A and B are shown apart, each in its own frame.
Chain A
């Protein structure tokens, strides 16, 4: 019975993240537009964009291989699965014991691995520039992310996200310096991984600065729709992750009934709204960095997360 419910919740979660991801992107765009004094498009615009892309024909480079055509599916699946692993409205998820935070990071790594390969497949210099920069950013962001995981896991004695959320909900943690450091580092990593300002700006087509956009420049039609949807999903995933680890309030726990789960969904949407607003505020108040400053930015994140982990490793009573 519990397993059945957990499976049901799992399926519900997979659908929920899929449905909410474009909404979050639309919300961030709307808030950003309002902040700079524009009216901005409707929050539903990303849905319309995706549908429009789906209906368009695919233009493929003449020497594109099967890899180029299958990567959008592979990366979307990997990110979708990863997003399904983060508890958003309940910690009772069927896949929780199958894969933990480390596996989640590795899933995101797979998505990036394949996308970077796809960037190189058409043999244009834009694809190469995007892939090479993306992998440089990942080389620093991924270890920072893992160190954040370590700090949290040491505290909770588990890398399972459901257990982390349960533990944080129980209020046994209190305020800790290492958690604060981990939160700052996680936000920095999230900004870098989602190609947001000040690391990257997917809204421009300026070859000197672009990273993500350069990689996917040759995609069109349904492939581009999948790539775009995957990056929306990834942004939602990071927000859900921050919410799950540092602000799990309102989430339903094991055995707390269906009403609690429904409440959890409402709270989750509210959290996304707050997170989106904060992101928009941050992005409008900061300028884009040079590409080679990214190393310093993410090096800082790695250092902070390592410090957080060391604090916990040497502190007593963990």
Chain B
């Protein structure tokens, strides 16, 4: 534990160096190197802690409010998330180092200067949230994390969109913190002790617990991007530099998931069945809406941020299932669902980081993140193209990559629904299963669109045609998560075994309980109704069949190859197809028409000039986010109205102020008198 705290302190020191020596040429190496080593240290510690078991590390520091002190504790659950956060931190540091150097060279001067001191602080904040063991430290760390990331979003303030994104982010973050504050307030009212140990010991009454569940879903949900609280996420995540986007989207949302798990599974005591029902419903809505939003985006990073919304939805579905099964006293199935959630947390942090890095590489190489200005990058950036393909395939849940394993576990948990007694839950789970399947299939379409438009086809702009492959550090930063995506897809069982202490802590069972010894390369959870999956054998068989196929074909078939121009629909010229090829909007059109016209009021306007007019025809696509209309706009109107009313208080006379104070005092005294009786 001392190690973790020292590593966090070291991150602060790195931040100070970054702030003090901003202009020095070697400072980015120091900052990113220092951050990566601190993260590596914490991740290693957490992995050893999980593998070795042993008592929880605790530490009480005499800081903070005098009568509370700062309680720090790293149990198995914290350790799982410490690994996720710091693994993301290592790869992001590696990539960020190369990214900043590339941008240094192309832009001259330190455009991303403010990132250097803030970046380690952001990671320190996330680590602090995970080891906080009292409400005060937790909220302080949470707010620290939010503010550091908010400043990172603002660090690229030259982009005209950024201030808007940052303002919305700070509003949503404050809203989230307020909800969490109230939630912990309710949790601690019974006894006035804010430490997690005391909260755990006094489970709140049913009504209070219900309030806490709702507040947590709102508070942590707004950070994670649950629909309809997701609106800030696709604006804020892409605004930061790409390695920070990767951390915000791939990792910080997981810290919010941690908060949900910590409160719902650990602090609140025995769950009631409807908690899981509500959680699952939110998750399903989030998954489907998130991916539909993603399908309509032309901005690569914004698309990825919306896809994070979808993946968070899947994770929250798994959490809801785990809650339901925990409430139904079927701990092994709950462990299965929770294992699916944790696996998906790890998986998503890997492939989403990878994809954000790839977006950063594209941005570095072409200066654009607009899909309609990319294209043909597979020829210009071969390594990035291969690594991004692995990421796209993994996030589309294709076997034998890691995304599929998470999906498989989750579907296995869903199949256990008949074990429940509430028929309303059974119907809900069936519908949620369908929603999840729909989201998965749409995610496939979404990433075919992203990859096909950005990397395949012909360059859609001069910059894309002249792109050059990014530097070695950036490629390595992408290669690490890509390799992990393959490894975890082929051999998921050791990782799930590593989670077991956390699962036992939360649902008092492991997914493999009651089963005889299983080899480590075989995935067959007890509660998966006897089903099993083996990525390793799949991979071997696929490789074997491919070899047979290639040998067979090449022995039999003609190997003559002629290169020619493809049919360009009558367009003639040196590059006939470039103008006629499909764009991001045209690719999305069938799905937009099938799903978007009612939900998003998506409309295609075609401006067709009359015959004889030489003006080009134009297609414009518009759509509205229902969450804006239903949640954000009324909210902002309400805030504006309140501000208007409160504004009058500025211009009162002294006499009126004194009257107000007197009245307030009377009201407070009455309240005291009532509660004391």
Contact surface of A with B, Cβ cutoff 8 Å:
14, 54-63, 65-67, 73-74, 76-78, 80-81, 95, 97-100, 102-103, 106-107, 109-110, 112-113, 116-117, 119-129, 131-133, 135-136, 138-143, 146-147, 150, 153-154, 157-160, 163, 217-218, 221-222, 225-226, 291-292, 295, 302, 306, 309-310, 312-314, 318
Contact = CB atoms under 8 A, between A and B. Distances in A.
Contacts of B586: 128, 132
B564 A59 contact: yes
B588 to A, nearest CB: 7
Nearest to A110: B398
A116 B376 CA distance: 16
B6 interface: no
Contact of A73 (B399, B417, B549, B569): B549
A154 B418 contact: yes
B103 interface: no
Interface in B414-441: 414-415, 417-418, 423, 426-427, 429-431, 433-434, 437-438, 440-441
A65 to B, nearest CB: 5
27 contacts: A57-B561, A60-B561, A62-B566, A63-B379, A77-B549, A81-B541, A98-B532, A103-B399, A106-B407, A116-B448, A117-B451, A117-B452, A123-B376, A124-B566, A129-B582, A131-B448, A135-B590, A138-B444, A140-B438, A140-B594, A143-B440, A154-B417, A158-B529, A159-B415, A217-B567, A313-B427, A314-B427
Interface residues of B, number: 86
A116 B393 contact: no
B645 interface: no
Contacts of B429: 313
Contacts of B456: 65, 67, 117, 120-121, 123
Contacts of A133: 590
B168 interface: no
Given A58-B561, A62-B564, A106 B397 contact: yes
B534 interface: yes
Contacts of A124: 566-569, 577, 580-581
Contact of A65 (B378, B530, B534, B567): B378
Contacts of B397: 106, 109
Interface stretch (B203-211, B235-243, B552-560, B668-676): B552-560
Given A106-B397, A122-B577, A135-B445, A98 B533 contact: yes
Contacts of B457: 63, 120-123, 128
Contacts of B274: none
Q: Which of A123, A138, A146, A226 counts the most chain B CB atoms within 10 A?
A: A123
Contact of B545 (A80, A147, A309, A314): A80
B562 interface: yes
B480 to A, nearest CB: 23
A258 to B, nearest CB: 24
Contact of B587 (A66, A128, A310): A128
A26 to B, nearest CB: 20
Nearest to A121: B456
Contact of B404 (A106, A125, A139, A160): A106
A113 B532 contact: no
Interface string B439-464: 01110110111011100111000000
Contacts of A67: 378, 389, 456
Nearest to B578: A123
B368 interface: no
Contact of A306 (B408, B430, B529): B430
Interface in B263-305: none
Given A73-B549, A222-B557, A291-B590, A139 B438 contact: yes
B464 to A, nearest CB: 12
Given A62-B564, A124-B567, A158 B531 contact: yes
A149 B439 CA distance: 17
Contacts of B587: 120, 128, 131-132
A110 B542 CA distance: 12
Nearest to B424: A314
A157 B418 CA distance: 10
For the complex of A and B, list the 9 residue pairs with the smallest distance between their C-beta atoms, beginning with the closest.
A128-B582, A120-B452, A123-B457, A143-B437, A57-B560, A135-B445, A142-B441, A136-B590, A61-B566
A299 to B, nearest CB: 8
A221 to B, nearest CB: 7
A55 B593 CA distance: 42
A302 B433 CA distance: 12
A108 to B, nearest CB: 10
A55 B594 contact: no
A76 B588 CA distance: 27
B557 A225 contact: yes
A62 B565 CA distance: 6
B564 to A, nearest CB: 5
A163 B453 CA distance: 42
A117 to B, nearest CB: 5
Contact of A54 (B431, B553, B564): B553
A124 B586 CA distance: 13
A146 to B, nearest CB: 4
Nearest to B458: A123
B591 A314 contact: no
A125 B564 contact: no
Contacts of B438: 139-140, 143, 302
Contact of B398 (A54, A63, A113, A295): A113
B577 A123 contact: yes
Contacts of A127: 581-582
Given A81-B541, A306-B434, A98 B445 contact: no
B630 interface: no
B565 A61 contact: yes
A73 B562 contact: no
Nearest to A53: B557
B434 A147 contact: yes
Nearest to A318: B418
